[in-house]
């Protein structure tokens, strides 16, 4: 009972979200975005007046030294956090005024994540980890699709293993399968190879690009690995919270 009432209330809130279909080609639109952290009276500006937009299907990277604001920017783009000023538009949804739970719905519908430390749920098996985003959507007949993804990342035999029983590379591959499971419109990868050795990194990256190409997903990679960044179509360079360069690859 309580659950149902609660759900209804949530749905009601959710329905109030506004759409702003300016350009169908743009999946991510960042306008004059700033982020400040207030701490004990003093405020720290982490991002300052950031502007860029990402067209559908693009593969871009955000680079910069530690503390340049990369992760903060990723958090804002993905709707994990709210900007102090400016506007974030994700797949035609303006995130600025949405509540945390409304943004959660947006994330579930459109966004996939790959984390530096994999963030697999330790109490779930590999297969269950892949199934979670689909389950969250309340979709039916999930298992075959999850198995299919597991097959794509080459870990069918690990379906019933728990994360602790997997190596780092295997964990990140499961995490890739999970990220693609809800066929997201946009995929955010936060230092996807940060915790992996060179050889494993290469395998994971290749798998990421392959899966991405196949699904036609927009991919935003945050990394300080310039080699990895160079393999994307466009590199946005951050320093001290401002964009110092936005380079398109010559052939694009």
Binding site for another protein (CB under 8 A): 3-4, 6-7, 10-11, 14-15, 17, 19, 21, 24, 37-38, 71, 74-75, 78, 80-81, 92-93, 100-102, 104-111, 113, 115-117, 119-124, 128, 132-133, 135-138, 162, 164, 168, 178, 182, 190
Nearer to another protein, 17 or 247 (CB): 17
CA distance 177 to 16: 32
Nearer to another protein, 48 or 178 (CB): 178
CA distance 190 to 183: 18
Nearer to another protein, 122 or 198 (CB): 122
Least separation in angstroms between CB 174 and another protein: 13
Rg of the chain over Cα atoms, rounded to whole angstroms, equals 18
Least separation in angstroms between CB 115 and another protein: 6
Least separation in angstroms between CB 90 and another protein: 11
Least separation in angstroms between CB 14 and another protein: 3
Nearer to another protein, 130 or 211 (CB): 130
Least separation in angstroms between CB 4 and another protein: 8
Least separation in angstroms between CB 250 and another protein: 31
Nearer to another protein, 87 or 108 (CB): 108
Nearer to another protein, 87 or 119 (CB): 119
């Amino acid at each position: 009972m309580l659950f149902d009432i609660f759900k209804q209330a949530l749905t009601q809130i959710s329905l109030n979200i506004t759409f702003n279909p300016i350009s169908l080609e743009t999946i991510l639109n960042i306008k004059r975005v700033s982020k400040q952290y207030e701490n004990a009276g003093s405020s720290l500006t982490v991002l300052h007046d950031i502007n860029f937009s990402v067209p559908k299907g693009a593969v871009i990277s955000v680079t910069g030294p530690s503390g340049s604001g990369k992760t903060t920017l990723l958090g804002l783009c993905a709707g994990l956090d709210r900007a102090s000023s400016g506007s974030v538009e994700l797949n035609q949804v303006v995130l600025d005024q949405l509540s945390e739970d409304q943004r959660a719905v947006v994330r579930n519908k459109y966004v996939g994540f790959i984390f530096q430390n994999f963030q697999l749920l330790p109490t779930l098996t590999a297969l269950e980890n892949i199934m979670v985003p689909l389950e969250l959507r309340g979709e039916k007949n999930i298992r075959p699709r999850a198995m299919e993804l597991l097959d794509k990342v080459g870990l069918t035999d690990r379906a019933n293993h728990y994360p602790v029983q997997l190596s780092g590379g295997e964990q990140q591959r499961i995490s890739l399968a999970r990220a693609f499971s809800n066929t997201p419109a946009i995929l955010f990868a936060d230092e996807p190879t940060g915790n992996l050795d060179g050889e494993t990194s290469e395998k994971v990256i290749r798998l990421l690009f392959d899966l991405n190409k196949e699904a036609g997903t927009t991919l935003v990679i945050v990394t300080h690995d310039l080699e990895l960044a160079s393999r994307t179509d466009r590199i946005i360079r951050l320093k001290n919270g401002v964009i110092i360069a936005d380079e398109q690859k010559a052939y694009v």
